[in-house]
Structure 1
Amino acid sequence: PAKALKQISNEYKGYEVGEVIVYQANTSINDAIEPTSYFVDLKNDKHEVLVRITQQANIEFFQQVK
C-alpha cells in the first residue's frame, strides 16, 4: 500500500527494497492472528533488516538480518 511505501521511505532512508514475502496464516488454527502479512527485506551498504507490513499498512521492525 502507498501508506506503507511512504513510511518505509521516511523511516528507512538509504535502504533498498529487496524481496517481498507474502505470509498467509491459517486462521482456522488461530483466529487471533492477521490472515495476511507482508515481510519486506530492506538493505543498505551496512545493514539488512526485515520489516512487517500489517493489514492496516503499518510498518513494524521484525528482524535484523545483517
Structure 2
Amino acid sequence: MFVNSTRPSMVSNKHHDSGTIRSRPFLLLLGLLTVPRIRLYLFIAKLTLKFSYSYMLMIY
C-alpha cells in the first residue's frame, strides 16, 4: 500500500519540476532578499523596544 501511494506522487513531482525550473532562480532571489529584510525588521524592533523601555524608565 505504502509503495503504491508514493509512486504517483513521484511522477507528478517530476512533471512539476520541469515547469518550475524557470521560476526557481526568481524564488531563490526572493528568498535571499526577504531573509535579510526579516532580520532587519527584527533588529529595528529590538532597538525600538530597548529605547522605549529605557525611555519609560527615565520618565518614572
Same fold flag (TM > 0.5): no
For the pair shown, the structure with the greater C-alpha radius of gyration is 2
Question: TM-score range, shorter-chain basis?
Answer: under 0.3
Q: Structure 2 length as normaliser, TM-score?
A: 0.23
Higher relative contact order, structure no. (Cα contacts within 8 Å, ≥ 6 residues apart) = 1
Structure with the higher helix share, 1 or 2: 2
